[in-house]
Structure 1
Amino acid sequence: MKIVILLAFIGIFGALGAAGFFMLKNGSAKAESGQRNAQMARALALRVGLSIALFLFILLSYLMGWIQPTGLPLH
Structure 2
Amino acid sequence: MRILALLFIVFILGSLASALYYLIKDKGQTDRTVKMLTIRVGLSLALFILLMAGYYFGIVPQSGLR
Give the alignment's TM-score, normalised by structure 2: 0.88
Structure 2 gap ranges (5+)? none
Say if 2:34 is the partner of 1:41.
Answer: yes
Question: Max radius of gyration: which structure?
Answer: 1
What is the root-mean-square deviation in Å for CA atoms of aligned residues?
A: 1.8
- Alpha-carbon distance, 1:25 to partner: 1.0
Q: In the TM superposition, what whole-angstrom CA distance separates every residue of 1:47-68 from its partner, at most 9, and x where no partner exists?
A: 0000000000000000001111
* Equivalent position SS for 2:61: coil
Say if 2:11 is the partner of 1:11.
Answer: yes
Instruction: Tell me the distance in 1 between the aligned counterparts of 2:61 and 2:54.
Output: 9
Give the alignment's TM-score, normalised by structure 1: 0.78
Matched positions, count: 64
The share of aligned pairs that are identical, in percent, is 33
* Equivalent position SS for 1:25: helix
Instruction: Tell me the distance in 1 between the aligned counterparts of 2:53 and 2:43.
Output: 15
User: Where does residue 21 of structure 2 map in the other structure?
Assistant: 21
Runs of 4+ in 1 over 4 A off after TM superposition: none
User: Where does residue 62 of structure 1 map in the other structure?
Assistant: 55
